[in-house]
Amino acid sequence: MKGRAVKLREAHKSSSPALCSAAWGPGGQHVVTASAADTAVLIHDAAALLAGGRGSGLAPLTMIRLHKDGVTALAIAPGAGGSLASGSIDHSVKFFTFPEGKFQSNVARFTLPIRSLAFNKKGTLLAAAGDDDGIKLIATIDNTISKVLKGHKGSVTGLAFDPKNDYLASVDSFGTVMYWDLCIGGEARTLSRVAPTFRSDNSVRNMLCWSPDGQTLAVPGLRNNVVLYDRDTGEEVSTLKGDHEQPVCSLCWSPNGRYLATAGLDRQVLVWDVKSRQDIERQKFDERICSLAWKPDGNSLLLIDVMGRFGIWESVIPSTMKSPTEGIPDLNSTKVSLFDDDDDDDEKPCTSGGLEDDIDESLSDSAPLSHKRLKRKSTFDGYSEDEDLIHQLDSSKRMKDKHKDKKKDTEKANNDSATSGRLVTARMQAAFQPGSTLPQFGMRNFLAYNMLGSITTIENEGHSHVEVDFHDTGRGPRVPSMTDYFGFTMAALNESGSVFANPCKGDKNMSTLMYRPFDSWAGNSEWSMRFEGEEVKAVALGAGWVAAVTNLNFVRIFTEGGLQMHILSVSGPVVTAAGHGDQLAIVSHASDCLPSGDQVLDVKVFNISERAQSLSGRLLLTPSSQLSWFGFSENGQLSSYDSKGTLRVFSSQFGGSWLPLFSSVKARKSDDESHWVVGLDANNIFCILCKHPQSYPQVMPKPVLTIFELSFPIASSDLGANSLENEFMMRKLHLSQIQNKMDEMAALGLDTTAYEDEAFNMEAGLDRCILRLISSCCSGDKLVRATELAKLLTLEKSMKGALTLVTRLKLPMLQEKFSSILEERMLNDRKVAGAVGFCSNATIKRLTTYETPPSKLVQNGNNLLGSPSPIPKPGNHESSLTEPKKPEAEQARGNNTLKASPSPAFTPLAKVSKNSETKRDKIGASNATVVDQNKKGGMDQNGARKMSTEDCNRTELQRPVNPFAKSSSSKEQSPSLLDSIKKMNVETEKVEKPNSKKVKV
């Protein structure tokens, strides 16, 4: 049934469309209008307007002209004797008495135009926002700014206080909705890009509105509809979609919350029965209606269009239907019960105090408030609510320390359990799919995006068009596009296939899971599953399996062919899931959020083929952040990325730790940049760079990957060698990962040769880094640190290089320390070799590097450059491994039959006394000559001898001459045992011949 057409009368003259506002007075006796094309605020008599019929000559009761530019926002405080607030393009917010219209004060001054104003339920707090950065919360008692809420990227065009004073909802010009928790004065939830965008058209704006019971938030949707979101979870409750042909720009609830009026850009106003989700009345106007307001205690609707003409739609709801004023929610009973000591705080959390009572306590760096502490002094001391607010404002601003101490004592008496319930649950992060983006009406969005490729979708007349693309077109198969009739909102992709899922949409449309293999030997290999009374929240793919996690906390695992293999349970609501090979990782809520708003998340990793759980623990996030991306690196390392821009990789070090390896804040070139993570490998993270106001990539144009090197958040070192220290830590991490992989493969009896080569190369690279750090320490006179680094060297060749470095730098103390370290290392190697009696391939590869002298190490700033140069080597006599072993005591006496000097890998070096050196000098002049030449830095190399198999197994070798003793050194080295082992191992016949040059005596 269509009601009588509403005729509008002119209130504000305008030559072009402009944003206009209209509002009812508290008792419904007055109407206030304003226009962005007029500096006046008009207060009208509602009864006179209704009695005047269609006449247009009725003058307003009051005309206020104190703004210097157009008025863009109005708000009237509830209750008798409330204030009228107006915001303008002139950057000011002013207070007036109502309905007299007398000027009271300038409330706040902004740097840019005001776009939206809103009073809370009691009128003690005003929220003001616009083009400025931040929403200002103003205490109306003394007109002071209590808090500035920052988080929106665009102009804030709509504000609405929760009727229970727990939340403030806001929406910006980019369609992002944010919940602000008034009990802690911070962000509770963000719904990105859920509303239309009106960037260039200032005659309309995004609006939102809470239902009278405070349980539902109505927001204009992206499909010419209205979406209703749940107060506690932020999830979509239902959708009102009817005959609007263009986006909705204004809406308002009836007093009892049963009906909702919406105005769209198509110049229509529709009235909805929310329960049945049907539009029951509609009107079409000549211009767009940009503001709606339902009479607080009647069946009338106030409207104003973009040309400044307004009117009252009477009898909006037909008499045959329930009256819009019948069954108005009574929130007072809930508020009073909160002040009763006997009431259950868990069942009735913070609903009445709101920010006007508690915001300044949070500003004084205090802990979150408990519900019992919200009991007002008026209950006992006779204070009014306004007097109590003044008391709290003064105490927090002028006596913070005293107030903090008092508050701590109060909190100590109350249990933290009082912060449970809705207050905390409202901040729990909703489930998301890694690599997906939010849908935008008329635009293509990503269902999945990873290192392999992407899956995109776009809606088109009741169905969607889905495409699968690979980054490397030569690597992946060509996958035909798909017509989607289910409305898939999440997907996962790997080399074998893709999986899709959609949420429930009403009672008849069940959640569906579909798998499409890319290549199958059988026809019709695609399959799907439907879940009755269950909704898929996240999907994942692996090697031969498909997984879906649902709202019942079920983990359903299927084979590639669709066989239902396992059904597991997780401990809390799922946040996200990811797969890699045999591993399935699931993140879920471990409990309600902490009072500070921090998420409490658990992560579990399952090995599907072994039916085992390989990891169970807490997922760590940056304080006050949420999980933004989750998955595996290309080498299978579990990784997470939070909304504060920190990437963490899980490591088995310290019994399992999350290591921070990337910071988006440090990588940004400007504040308007953000990084949308795609994936990572062993050394780099792959992101898509997004510029403000975009927080995620668009499908077109095709996103460009930006690559950043992984790095630890190194503290600024006193050496000025941050890059070297970061390289040192990264190489240690990679070496640890390789060694863990080798251990796993060895336990399974698999060949680890490839990983042994990789581990050796990593050890060599780590040693090179350590040598450069030692050089920096020597330059900075950090000798203790240089010694610590020397102990970390893996290869003996590197240790000798470090010894050569400190010798050339003339650091005798370090030379002595390094000599001791090398001797101890060689002694340990001999013990190991004696116990084993043979050499493994990996040991051979590691130790044969000692046979060639290291490069000459030249200090150049913080770098260590290499140039060929000989270094001291133990022994200058020919090796004679076939001789019988001589007692060590006989060797120490300088027996002139001593001719063998075994490989330093198996022979410890002992310090030689001066007496021994003297005796050794008397035995032959060759030693003395060697010592003299070694002091000058000169050395020669002896030729290598071919060793027999018996020589390889000989473990008890003769004691060598110590080349690092102060008065004795050697230029020549006997043939290396390891050199011969290596040559026999690779079955080469050619034997390297050393230089035959000998020192003349």
What is the DSSP track for 15-51?
SS---EEEEE-TTSSEEEEEETT-S-EEEEEHHHHHH
- Average pLDDT over the chain, rounded to an integer: 76
pTM: 0.50
User: Would you say residue 363 has pLDDT above 70?
Assistant: no
User: Would you say residue 851 has pLDDT above 60?
Assistant: no
Position 184, amino acid: I
Q: How confident is residue 3, by pLDDT bands cut at 50, 70 and 90?
A: low
> What integer pLDDT is reported at residue 200 of this predicted model?
65
User: Would you say residue 185 has pLDDT above 50?
Assistant: yes
Q: Could you tell me how far CA 526 lies from the centroid of its own chain?
A: 34
User: Would you say residue 422 has pLDDT above 70?
Assistant: no
> What integer pLDDT is reported at residue 161 of this predicted model?
94
Class of domain 443-709: mainly beta
Question: How many angstroms separate the Cα of 89 from the Cα of each of 35, 135, 136, 137?
Answer: 11, 16, 16, 19
Tokens of 815: 């030379």
Cis bond leading into 693, ω under 30°?
yes
- Percentage of residues in the chain having pLDDT higher than 90: 41
* 2 or 874, which is more confident: 2
Q: 144-149 and 156-161: which strand pairing?
A: unpaired
> What integer pLDDT is reported at residue 506 of this predicted model?
58
List, for residues 815-833, the tens digit of each pLDDT value. 898 999 888 888 887 877 7
Q: Could you tell me how far CA 1001 lies from the centroid of its own chain?
A: 72
Give the range among 369-383, 705-719, 722-736, 757-771 with minimum mean pLDDT: 369-383
> What integer pLDDT is reported at residue 640 of this predicted model?
96
One DSSP character per residue, 851-882 reads GSPPEEEEEETTEEEEEE-----S--SPP-TT
Q: Could you tell me how far CA 13 lies from the centroid of its own chain?
A: 50
List, for residues 532-591, the tens digit of each pLDDT value. 889 999 999 999 999 999 999 999 999 999 999 999 999 999 999 999 999 999 999 998
Helix (H) or strand (E) holding 171: strand 167-172
List, for residues 30-49, the tens digit of each pLDDT value. 999 999 999 999 999 888 88
User: Would you say residue 707 has pLDDT above 70?
Assistant: yes
* 671 or 616, which is more confident: 616
The architecture that CATH gives domain 20-314 is 7 Propeller (2.130)
Give the range among 608-622, 623-637, 982-996 with minimum mean pLDDT: 982-996
User: Would you say residue 370 has pLDDT above 90?
Assistant: no
Give the C-alpha separation, 221 to 194, whole Å. Answer: 6
Question: Could you give the angle at the alpha carbon of 835 between the alpha carbons of 793 and 826, nearest 5°?
Answer: 30
Contact 349, 371 (CB under 8 A): yes
Contact 272, 254 (CB under 8 A): no
SS3 336: helix
**In the chain, domain spans:** 20-314, 443-709, 721-827
Q: How confident is residue 603, by pLDDT bands cut at 50, 70 and 90?
A: very high
- Percentage of residues in the chain having pLDDT higher than 70: 71
Q: 545-550 and 536-541: which strand pairing?
A: antiparallel
pLDDT (mean) for 161-175: 91
List, for residues 761-773, the tens digit of each pLDDT value. 999 999 999 999 9
Cβ-based neighbour number of residue 257 at 10 Å: 22
Q: Are 20-314 and 443-709 the same fold in CATH? A: yes
Give the C-alpha separation, 238 to 275, whole Å. Answer: 10
User: Would you say residue 139 has pLDDT above 80?
Assistant: yes
* 768 or 963, which is more confident: 768
pLDDT (mean) for 328-342: 48
User: Would you say residue 18 has pLDDT above 50?
Assistant: yes
Rounded to 10 degrees, what is the CA torsion of 927, 930, 931, 935? 180
Kindly calculate the radius of gyration of the chain based on its CA atoms and give it in whole angstroms: 39
Contact 62, 42 (CB under 8 A): yes
Give the range among 131-135, 331-335, 618-622, 764-768 with minimum mean pLDDT: 331-335
SS3 778: helix
Give the C-alpha separation, 138 to 89, whole Å. Answer: 19
User: Would you say residue 911 has pLDDT above 50?
Assistant: no
> What integer pLDDT is reported at residue 979 of this predicted model?
52
User: Would you say residue 992 has pLDDT above 50?
Assistant: no
pLDDT (mean) for 668-695: 89
Tokens of 395: 């105490």
Rounded to 10 degrees, what is the CA torsion of 855, 859, 863, 866? -20
Q: 114-119 and 103-109: which strand pairing?
A: unpaired
For helices 812-836 and 796-808, give the axis angle rounded to 10 degrees.
Answer: 160
pLDDT (mean) for 722-750: 88
> What integer pLDDT is reported at residue 149 of this predicted model?
92
- Which residues have a Cβ under 8 Å from the Cβ of 344 and sit 6 or more positions away? none
* 998 or 723, which is more confident: 723
Question: Could you give the angle at the alpha carbon of 677 between the alpha carbons of 674 and 681, nearest 5°?
Answer: 135
Q: How confident is residue 972, by pLDDT bands cut at 50, 70 and 90?
A: very low
Question: SS3 sequence, 188-234?
Answer: EEEECCCCCCCCCCCCCCCCCEECCCCCEEEEECCCCCEEEEECCCC
Cβ-based neighbour number of residue 852 at 10 Å: 13
Sign of CA dihedral 903, 904, 910, 916: positive
Give the C-alpha separation, 774 to 458, whole Å. Answer: 58
Give the C-alpha separation, 255 to 694, whole Å. Answer: 37
Q: Could you tell me how far CA 952 lies from the centroid of its own chain?
A: 56
